[in-house]
Amino acid sequence: MKALVYHGPGKFEWEEKAEPVLHDPGEAIVRITRTTICGTDLHILKGDVPSVTKGRTLGHEGVGVIEKVGGAVSNFCVGDRVLISCITSCGRCENCRRQMYSHCEKGGWILGNRIDGTQAQMVRIPHADTSLYSVPAGADEEALLMLSDILPTAFECGVLNGAVKPGDTIAIIGAGPIGLATLLTAKLFSPAVIIVADTDTRRLQVARELGATHIVNSINSNGVPDILRLTAGKGVDVAIEAVGIPETFDACQQLVAAGGHIANIGVHGKGAMLHLDKLWDRNITLTTRLVDTAATGMLLKAVTSGALKPQPLITHRFGLSEIGKAYEVFGHAARDGALKVVMTAE
C-alpha cells in the first residue's frame, strides 16, 4: 500500500509500505476513503512532537471501510463504513471510565503519533468497538470527516469548557479551522453575541458567513480595544483561545469579564504569562483540555440531521495520491485561502 511516511523534521514521502496487520482481537483494519490534515501534523513535520519517530505514517482523521476485524470486535463487520476518531479508547481503564478518553491508559492520541496513522490507503485501529463510529447510509462523508477531530475539539475544549449558554457574549480569538468550528458549535447554545478576531480578512469573511455577529481584524493590534468597545468595556462572558500563542492567550485574559470563562483550545509550543495580579479577584474560570471525543456521537447526530453544517470549512480537495500537494496548500493557508483540505482515495 501507499502511505505518507515521516522521515524527520521537514521530510516526508508518499511511499510504499507494508499493509497493516491485526495485533489484537479487538482491532480492525480500515481502508481509507477520505482523510485530512490537521495543524498538529504541521507541528510534527517541524519536529515539535518528539514522540513521533522516523518511519511513522502520519494522520489521525479519516473515514473508510472495514477490511478486517479481530475475533473480539462485536460492533462492526467487514464492509461497514466507519468514522475514525482521532482518540483511541479502550473504554475500560480508569480514565476512560471518567470519560477522559484522551488519557486512555492503552490509547489516547496514538494514531499518527505512537502508531501508524490515517494518511495511508489502510490503517490499523486498536479498540475498534470504542474508537470507530458507524457512518449512516447516505451521509456526506466529507462532512463526517470533520467529526474525526475538529468539531469535537472545538465543542469540548471551547464551547463546553467555556460553559457557553443562551444570551452570552463570547469572543473567539482565531478564525482558523478550529476557531470557525468553535463558532459553528457555539451556535448550538444560542449566545447573543459572537465576536471573532483574526488577522486574515478572508477567514473573517467566512466567520461572518457562518454566523459571527461581529468580526474584528487584529492585524495591527491584538483586537482587545475593538472588542472592549463592542462590549461597552465590560468584556465577554467567554473568551476562547483558538490559536496557541502567548499573544492570543493574553488577549483572552484582557477580555474576560468578571465571572467569565477562558477556554483554551490552542496547542501552545511555548509558555504564556498568566496575569494573576489582575485576575485573582475576577471570579474567572480557566480551562485547558485535550479533546476526549466524548461528544462525537451527539455531534454525529447533529451533522446527519443538518442541524450542524461543517461543509463550508472544506476549501480544497485532492486525490489521496496528491497528498504532497495538499500539504503544500495547507502549510501556506493564508496564501491559498485554505481551511480544511480533504484527500479522497482514487
Question: What secondary structure does DSSP assign to 157-196, as a single string?
Answer: IIIITTT--TT-EEEEE--SHHHHHHHHHHGGG--SEEEE
Q: Are residues 135 and 264 in the same domain?
A: no
Q: How many structural domains compose the chain?
A: 2
Q: What is the pLDDT of residues 102-114, one digit of tens each?
A: 999 999 999 999 9
Closest to 70 measured CA to CA, from 25, 31, 29, 30: 25
Q: What is the pLDDT of residues 291-304, one digit of tens each?
A: 999 999 999 999 99
Sheet holding 285-287, edge to edge: 214-217, 193-198, 169-173, 236-241, 256-264, 285-287
Q: Are residues 46 and 174 in the same domain?
A: no
* Domain extent for 263: 152-287
Q: Are residues 182 and 233 in the same domain?
A: yes
Q: Are residues 226 and 127 in the same domain?
A: no
Residue where a domain terminates, one of 287, 304, 324: 287
Q: Are residues 239 and 158 in the same domain?
A: yes
Q: How confident is residue 132, by pLDDT bands cut at 50, 70 and 90?
A: very high
**pLDDT above 90 (res 222):** no
Give the model's pLDDT for residue 213: 98
Alpha helices in 103-244 (DSSP H): 128-131, 141-145, 150-153, 177-186, 201-210, 224-230
pTM: 0.96
**pLDDT above 90 (res 91):** yes
Task: Give percent of the chain with pLDDT exceeding 70.
Answer: 100
Q: Are residues 58 and 41 in the same domain?
A: yes
Give the model's pLDDT for residue 148: 98
| Chain mean pLDDT for the chain | 97
Segment 310-315 shows an average pLDDT of: 97
Q: Are residues 62 and 9 in the same domain?
A: yes
- The CATH number for 113's domain is 3.90.180.10
**pLDDT above 90 (res 331):** yes
Segment 142-166 shows an average pLDDT of: 98
Q: What is the pLDDT of residues 223-242, one digit of tens each?
A: 999 999 999 999 999 999 99
Q: How confident is residue 219, by pLDDT bands cut at 50, 70 and 90?
A: confident
Q: Are residues 328 and 240 in the same domain?
A: no
Which of helix, strand or coil describes residue 229?
Answer: helix
**pLDDT above 90 (res 35):** yes
Residue pair 265/154 in contact by the 8 Å Cβ criterion: yes
Task: Give percent of the chain with pLDDT exceeding 90.
Answer: 96
